[in-house]
Each structure stands twice: as structure tokens, then as C-alpha cells.
Chains A and B, each alone.
Chain A
Amino acid sequence: MIAIVDYDTGNLCSVCNALGRLGVQYVVTDDAETIKKADKVLLPGVGEASSAMEKLRERGLCEVIKGLTQPVMGICIGMQLMCRCSEEGNTECLGIFDTEVKRFSADKKAGVKVPHMGWNEIRNIETPLLSGLREGEFLYFVHSFAPQMCGEAIATSVNGVQFAAALNKGNFYGTQFHPEKSGTIGEQILRNFVEKC
């Protein structure tokens, strides 16, 4: 059973629908014991970093998530919360990944827009989460803040600057892009998380 952490951030149903299409069993929960006992844990989310962190704190889930030993995957804001800190609302985060989340700068001349919205290529891909993907595969992004490049990056992308598009440290994984909205390639990544991580 996969536990999808419910911390009131919206778009949970996108992840539920995507797992449903794959025929994967899941439970949406904010209960610490259910999360600890799950085979795998997904931390999805869209929203603002400091208020999302506050919601994790209110539900007493920060230490629970940091202490998990099964595979855990954060998506978008979920991954950003697993980093050291975020510029968005200047918040301390969980500190699982050793990097900071910073805002993009728009550059009209170079065509760099903020938010970074749409399909962009990922490169420097590492397995197992991204097995079967080719270099330059397009994934769907929608965000204004992104994790800085670091040694834990397992995929990179570029919006004006290069950033970590996916991260991995031990049993913890994260993607800045939305696999649940990235067509069949995104489904492949979710399947990899379920079957290979």
C-alpha cells in the first residue's frame, strides 16, 4: 500500500487519479502510524512553501517523514519541502536533501519566463527512479522556485539557469516536475517508483 500524505495542499486528487490509472493501491492519510507502516510514501503538493511547511508541522509530520526508511517520493512542493530551506516565505524545510530552493529570475530577452510552466527536457538522468527514460525526455513543470544543483541531483533541467529536476538520497526521492501530469513518460516514472525503488 502506498500512503499519499494529506497535508491540505490541493492537487492530491491528480496523484490519486494517476495511481488509479496504473491500478496501484493507495491511501490518502495524515495519520503518522499509517504513514510509517506504508510500503511507500508519496508527498505531493502544489502551493506556497512556508505555509505547506506549517501544515506539516501542525500535523506533527516533520519528524515522521524524516524518520521514514521505506521509499519516499516528493513531487514539486513535496520535494522542495524535503530540501534544507526555501526562499519562498523564507522557511526552514525538512533538510533531507542538502540543497536550497531558490526563485527563478525572468529574462525577457532570453525568453526565460517565471513561472517556469510547460514541458522541458531533463538530462543527466540516473536510475532507478528514471529507468527507461532517454536523455532529453520532456516532463511537465509548473513552478517559480527550484532546488539548486547539488550532488544529489539525479536529473537536471534548465530555465535560464540549470537546476535539480530530480533528487535522490538513500530511500528519499523527489521530482520538481509532475509525473502525474507528464503523459505516458510520467506514468513510467510513477511505475518505476512503485516497482523499482
Chain B
Amino acid sequence: MVAKRIIPCLDVKDGRTVKGVNFVGLKDVGDAVELGSRYALEGADELVYLDISATVEGRKTFTSLVERIAQNINIPFTVGGGISTLDDAARLLDAGADKISINSAAVANPDIIDQIAAKYGSQFLVLAIDAKQVDGIWRITTHGGNKFADKELISWAYEGQERGAGEILFTSMDHDGTKNGYPCETYAALSDKLSIPIIASGGAGSIDDIVKVLTDGKADAALAASIFHYGEVSINEVKKELQKRDIKVRL
């Protein structure tokens, strides 16, 4: 059986790693390649780099950063943020990204999922989904949680799978950055409905939270930022604890 994955997520703005709470209040936490290399050495299974630059200049900086990551890091990495066309996908593939994640662009134009999967394969495409619970329904949000789309979480994730996405990265905007844990029941519902891997994201405050989402939540991987960036726990500590609890991890 494949091991459960621990994936640190690095939000990148103009080449620096930053972290905010609920997508606001950004703090600088270090150089993106250095931090990624450190995580790889500590036992990260993959890395995710999200470009949160809002400018054309920022995008260019990010592409050259992707080249630098590919040259220096010996584990797989996903890049996301602002990807909306086949050309964006091609540019990042050529720069050396193993996977790309798309979010708002797929909500606006779901055909982009089919197009990217057909051209580069499902393994190259992670469908990132942000959602907030409103009156008991998980509603899809875009643009960093600022806009609601007319879609519901489980049906949109399933549609993404059928269109060719290789993985689902679901972030609860109610939990992201709060360190209050993941919504495990929702992850389990996703895992029961879909056959592709599910990555849990947003909300990890302790090792227990990660254990819960990988067991009760049936997630295949856990993505986290805050708890690793600020050195509260190391990736190695997390994986050792997971192993103690009979969860298969790469150590």
C-alpha cells in the first residue's frame, strides 16, 4: 500500500514564502527554495508552492523560481496560483513542475480540466477546491475565498475527477490557518465518493489533527503550512507519531 503523504505548503509572494491567517495578514517566513530543501531533508513527501503574487511581474518571478526549485529539490512538487490557460500549464511544466493545481480558473471554465488532462495527463493536474459551509452546505469559493460560486463541494470534486483531475486538494476556508483541525467528516465523504487521491489542507494545529484526517477523514495526504513554518513540530516528528499509530508513512 502507498504511504500517507505529508506535504508542506509554501505560499510565495515575489520569491519569498509568506503565511497568513484565513488568507489575510501575511508574514514573511523565508526563501522558498531554502525552506523547500529543508523540508525535503526532514522527510516531506512532496511540496506545494502557491504563487500569491497578483502582478505580471510577480508571475515571471515565480516561473524562474520554479526552475530553481526543479534544479535543487529531489522530491515532487506542485505549483499553483493564477493558472488559467494551457499556456500557463505548459510554461510551468517546461520550468520543471511535476504537477499544477488549478482552482478559480476551473470553476469559471471547467473544460480547462479536460484540456490539461488530455494534453499532459491526469497525474499533472491537481484540482484545488476552496469551500465554506453555509447553512450546512459546503459552497465553493474562488479568488482566495472572496467569491462564492454556484457549486457544491462533493459534486464539483466528482465532476473534476470525471473530467480528468488526478487529485483533489480541498481546503476549508472555515478552518484554514486557524489551527483548529480539519473537517474530517467532509473529507471522508469525499474519499467515499471519489477514486482519486484526496489531499487535506488548512487547519492543522497539532499532530493529532493530522492523524485524524488521515484515519477518520480517510485522506491520502495532509498538507500544512503554519505548524511547519514556525517550527512548532517537524515533519519527522509528525511522521514518527503517525507510524506509532500504525499509519503507513515513509521514514
Q: Using a CB–CB distance below 8 Å, which chain A residues touch chain B?
A: 10-11, 13-14, 17-18, 20-21, 46-48, 106, 108, 111-121, 138, 140-144, 158-159, 178, 180-184, 186-187
Contact = CB atoms under 8 A, between A and B. Distances in A.
Contacts of B221: 118
A161 to B, nearest CB: 12
B74 A20 contact: no
A159 B75 CA distance: 21
Nearest to A160: B1
Given A119-B45, A120-B3, A13 B195 contact: no
Contacts of A116: 2
B176 interface: no
Nearest to A20: B71
Contacts of A142: 76, 98, 123
Chain A contact surface mostly: mixed
A186 to B, nearest CB: 7
Q: Which 8 A/B pairs are nearest by Cβ-Cβ distance?
A: A106-B195, A138-B250, A119-B250, A118-B2, A120-B2, A142-B123, A119-B3, A181-B76
A158 B75 CA distance: 21
Contact of A184 (B71, B74, B195, B218): B74
A159 B208 CA distance: 27
Contacts of A182: 74-75
Nearest to A116: B2
Given A10-B120, A119-B45, A17 B250 contact: no
Given A183-B40, A183-B75, A184-B74, A115 B2 contact: no
B196 A158 contact: no
Contacts of B121: 46-48
A14 B70 contact: yes
A182 B73 CA distance: 10
B196 A120 contact: no
Interface string B171-211: 00000000000000000000110011100000000000000
B75 A114 contact: no
B150 to A, nearest CB: 28
Contacts of B74: 18, 21, 180-184, 186-187
A121 B249 CA distance: 10
Interface in B1-54: 1-3, 5, 40, 45-46
Contact of A115 (B71, B96, B166): B166
Given A113-B197, A113-B220, A117-B167, A181 B75 contact: yes
A194 to B, nearest CB: 16
Nearest to B44: A183
Contact of A13 (B70, B72, B120): B70
26 contacts: A13-B70, A46-B123, A48-B121, A108-B192, A113-B2, A113-B195, A113-B196, A113-B197, A113-B220, A115-B166, A115-B196, A115-B197, A116-B2, A117-B2, A117-B197, A117-B220, A118-B2, A118-B221, A142-B76, A142-B98, A142-B123, A143-B123, A144-B122, A159-B1, A183-B40, A184-B74
Report which residue of B2, B45, B120, B218 has the largest number of chain A beta carbons within 10 angstroms of its beta carbon.
B2
